[in-house]
Chains A and B, each alone.
Chain A
Amino acid sequence: MGNVYFWIIYAVVIGSAIIALEATSLLWAAVSFVVLLSEIALVYFGLNMPVLGGVQLAIYAGGVTILVLFAIMMIGESYKKPEGKAVKAIVLSLLLLILGTFFSFLSAIDTLPFKTFSTEVLGTVFVEKYSFFTIVLGFIVSALLYMANAIITKKREAK
């Protein structure tokens, strides 16, 4: 089992994922989606895969999110409460979750030693090497989000 930080990350990932699906505003859903992707990048960093984490941030949290934002821009923001056949979906997804967890405990995947790395070292490396990059990226993303919000608001007001 993981420590408390892991479970915090877990809670943030799942929580942001659920918010991304359930949020009434599509724009805030997109923001929540970005949070989710960034948290996964954090998990990659935690697994001692900084390059993968960087790529995750760059392509997912950067490129895909921008695309999503543009799509939302083109279509127009929707405030409708998303509806759907929730019961079937919940049952199936819970089934998947239980099955997957059950089999992960059933299988012999923990016979191999699992490499854990010190996140302190990782954090040092990250701050030393990638902090600037991350900060710049974060600003750009924030600016884009703000611009997108502004444009959408203007459009709605114009209508």
Chain B
Amino acid sequence: MLLEADVHAYLFLSFSLLAVGVYGLLSRRSVIRMLFAVEMIINAANLNLAIFSAQRNVDGEIFAFFTIGLAALEAAVGLAIVIVFYKRFGEVIPSKIRNLRW
């Protein structure tokens, strides 16, 4: 048994990843790094699905496939947006672009 852990440990891994993702999402000012953080969060969710799938049945695993596909799409669109963003504003720091302000 190379890798042996109970569900709490796996969930702790998942939550840690989620925490790091949230930390990155909230603290980074570069769009690309925020995308990294989003991917981390999605992976944390995926891990959760896989863990519970291992515990019960195959549903979560199948759902994780969809999530991966969706995440890939999201990354593609997000990076396209990043490029447009860069062309439009000359930088990729969303905090400086305050068009959404009141």
Contacts and interface: CB of A to CB of B under 8 A. Distances in A.
Contacts of A3: 1, 3-5
B13 A89 contact: no
The 3 A-B residue pairs whose C-beta atoms are closest, nearest first, are: A2-B5, A119-B2, A89-B26
Contacts, number: 219
A97 B16 contact: yes
A68 B24 contact: no
Contact of B15 (A43, A89, A101, A123): A101
Interface size class of chain B, counting residues whose CB lies under 8 Å from the partner chain: 35 or more
A52 B3 contact: no
Contacts of A101: 8, 11-12, 15
A67 interface: yes
A17 B24 CA distance: 9
A54 to B, nearest CB: 11
Nearest to A58: B68
B68 A55 contact: yes
Contacts of A118: 1-2
B55 to A, nearest CB: 5
Contacts of A47: 10, 50-51, 53-54
A45 to B, nearest CB: 8
Interface size class of chain A, counting residues whose CB lies under 8 Å from the partner chain: 35 or more
Interface in B24-66: 24-30, 32-33, 35-37, 39-40, 43, 46-47, 50-56, 61, 64-65
Contact of B35 (A59, A68, A104): A68
A7 to B, nearest CB: 8
A45 B19 CA distance: 23
B68 A59 contact: yes
B91 to A, nearest CB: 9
B3 A49 contact: no
A26 B32 contact: yes
Nearest to A110: B7
B47 A110 contact: no
